[in-house]
């Protein structure tokens, strides 16, 4: 069975065939999907999708690029988010963090609300999904400062060095691995997968983005995770079926769900 631990089926890229696609990936062996609601409009659509599909769950928070929304509403937005996180199908908080690539929101504002959302995750004992792009050291420092318990944090779409990965792994956290691992130029990520314990890897798509080879450049979906699992098994020289089973159990453990 397959667990897509990070997807965006609320995205407009799925507007025309969302229902058919979700039905097809379920039939293909995808047992669970965590849909990430990362801004107010996305959170509202994530609710709708989760409410109408038994195998789709919710992870809610404000992406660093969207923290200007939080700054505009100040403390009331945390109260609102706290309420949204009480929904029955919510299994985590995210994706939150820092993004210095797009720099859509001032960096100090990103840091402020990153810390605030980490505190909220701790208060509610929720697993937290981290987005970090070109902000390696600041992300690491804030996470270390926050003291998120072992097993309750994943570095989504891990893209930094194998050396930094070792630090996250020592802290008992997970690494999210998606289609990028199949790219020929993903040398650092392949090295990271080779050194990481299989028990600390989660499979994800970030769909509709980051589609694995040989479909790179086309729309991604959860049905393409087998290509990611093939690559992980090849890198780690592990049995393919065992790799899938372990990654599925990892996701259940991370999101605190029963099988």
What CATH number is attached to the domain comprising 26? 3.20.20.140
The answer to whether residue 140 is domain-embedded is: yes
The answer to whether residue 146 is domain-embedded is: yes
The per-residue pLDDT string of the chain (259 residues; one tens digit each, 9 = 90 and over) reads 999 999 999 999 999 999 999 999 999 899 999 999 999 999 999 999 999 999 999 999 999 999 999 999 988 999 999 999 999 999 999 999 999 999 889 999 999 999 999 999 999 999 999 999 999 999 999 999 999 999 999 999 999 999 999 999 999 999 999 999 999 999 999 999 999 999 999 999 999 999 999 999 999 999 999 999 999 999 999 999 999 999 999 999 999 998 6
Distance CA(71)–CA(29), nearest Å, equals: 41
Q: Tell me what pLDDT residue 75 has.
A: 82
- Token digits for 22? 């979700």
The answer to whether residue 259 is domain-embedded is: no
Query: In which domain, by residue range, is 155 found?
Result: 2-254
Q: Tell me what pLDDT residue 74 has.
A: 85
Contacts 24+ apart (CB under 8 A), 147-154: 147/122, 148/118, 148/121, 148/122, 148/173, 149/122, 151/253, 151/254, 152/121, 152/125, 152/126, 152/127, 152/128, 152/254, 153/127, 153/128, 154/5, 154/127, 154/128, 154/129, 154/130, 154/202, 154/254
Residue 115 near residue 80, CB atoms below 8 Å: no
Q: Tell me what pLDDT residue 7 has.
A: 98
Number of domains in the chain: 1
- Token digits for 17? 């065939």
Q: Tell me what pLDDT residue 169 has.
A: 98
């Amino acid at each position: 069975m397959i667990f897509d631990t990070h997807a965006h089926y609320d995205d407009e890229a799925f507007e025309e065939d969302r229902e058919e696609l979700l039905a097809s990936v379920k039939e293909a062996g995808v047992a669970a999907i965590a849909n990430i609601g990362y801004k107010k409009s996305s959170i509202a659509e994530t609710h709708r999708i989760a409410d109408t599909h038994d195998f789709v769950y919710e992870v809610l928070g404000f992406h660093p690029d969207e923290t200007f929304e939080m700054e505009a509403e100040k403390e009331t937005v945390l109260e609102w988010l706290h309420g949204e996180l009480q929904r029955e199908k919510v299994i985590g908080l995210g994706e939150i963090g820092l993004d210095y690539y797009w720099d859509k929101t001032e960096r100090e504002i990103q840091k402020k609300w990153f810390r605030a959302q980490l505190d909220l995750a701790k208060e509610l004992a929720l697993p937290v999904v981290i987005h970090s792009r070109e902000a390696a050291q600041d992300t690491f420092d804030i996470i270390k400062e926050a003291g998120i318990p072992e097993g309750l944090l994943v570095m989504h779409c891990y893209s930094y060095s194998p050396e930094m990965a070792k630090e996250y792994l020592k802290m008992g956290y997970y690494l999210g691995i998606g289609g990028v691992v199949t790219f020929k130029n993903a040398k650092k990520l392949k090295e990271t997968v080779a050194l990481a314990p299989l028990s600390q890897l989660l499979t994800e798509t970030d769909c509709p983005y980051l589609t694995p080879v040989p479909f790179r450049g086309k729309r991604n979906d959860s049905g393409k995770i087998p290509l990611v699992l093939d690559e992980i098994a090849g890198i780690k020289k592990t049995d393919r079926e065992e790799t899938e089973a372990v990654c599925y159990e990892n996701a259940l453990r991370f999101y605190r769900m029963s099988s």
